[in-house]
Copies of this chain bind each other. A is one copy, B any other.
């Protein structure tokens, strides 16, 4: 109990300090900082909550089930991070961009690598469901210069409110996904369907938590984008349907004012023929503005 390696036994008052004192301070500096912050806030939260043993065990079971609910196509801890606003906070911290660049929002759990590369004007909809939508716009720099060859990775749910990966064998693979490249004038365009609001998967522990908190699990209708180009910071973002009933109560807090797009109902056979879609259809124009790569 004495000598160089003397350690204080655990007490309620010094709990965080005792735990931090057990860590070898010669380790990786970044990890030490992270653990110090985690331990300090974790102990402070427990002291404020004063959980009963039963409440502590409920928390253990909740976290365990959240891990066990996760598999190749379902990531319940990402959902938890999303509904607690942590994903958006991490996004905000990592995307403090110069004024003028398109704002970012959450990636979400349904992005897939290696979506098919498509020509401008291609139709991403492979299941024939929903109201036709034409999406077009330009990719440009914060100075307004068109960016040619920018890569736009686009994905969305189908008209039943599910992404292809949630309905393996029901939807065609890569339904409503595609990678497009901007043209000489920075322009891109594609055909899709009007997105619809949908609930995040709510049959697991996260859905149960939302229910207990009187929160609905829905996201307002949106299209996902990852847009990047050589020499520019890549952005992960959405465009939203502004009059969606959930636009002010997104379950994952992804909405930003600047990402509300104009979805216009068009009833014009000539224009429909130009875009090669059935009349009437929806049209949305949205430009992406990229900031130069830093560093």
Q: Chain B residues with Cβ under 8 A from A23's Cβ? A: 213-215
Q: CB < 8 Å: which of B22, B28, B213, B254 contacts A215?
A: B22
Residues of B within 8 A of A112 (CB): none
When the two chains form their complex, are residues B85 and A53 in contact, meaning their CB atoms are under 8 A apart? Answer: no
Return A50 CB to nearest CB of chain B, in Å.
Answer: 5
Which residues of A (56-70) have their CB < 8 Å from a CB of B? Answer: 56, 60, 63-68, 70
* B255 engages A84 (CB within 8 Å): no
CA–CA, A213 and B19, complex, Å: 11
Stretch at the interface among A31-39, A131-139, A182-190: A31-39
A72-87 interface (Cβ within 8 A of B)? 75-78, 81, 84-87
Task: Return the chain B residue nearest A242 by Cβ.
Answer: B1
CA gap between A151 and B75 in the complex, in Å: 45
CB distance from A130 to the nearest CB of B (A): 26
**CB <8 Å contact, B10 and A255:** yes
Does A6 interact with chain B (Cβ within 8 Å)?
yes
- C-alpha spacing A63/B64, complex, angstroms: 9
Annotate A217-236 by CB proximity to B: 1 below 8 A, 0 otherwise: 00000000000000000000
Smallest beta-carbon distance A270→chain B, Å: 34
Contact flag A77-B90 (CB < 8 Å), given A23-B213, A37-B48 = no
CB 8 Å contact bits of A5-30 with B (1 = contact, 0 = none): 11101111001101100111011100
A-B contact pairs, 6 of them (CB 8 A): A7-B249, A15-B92, A22-B213, A39-B84, A42-B86, A51-B90
- Where the two chains meet, the residues of A that have a C-beta atom closer than 8 Å to any C-beta of B are 1, 5-7, 9-12, 15-16, 18-19, 22-24, 26-28, 31, 33-35, 37-39, 41-53, 55-56, 60, 63-68, 70, 75-78, 81, 84-94, 96, 212-215, 248-249, 253-257
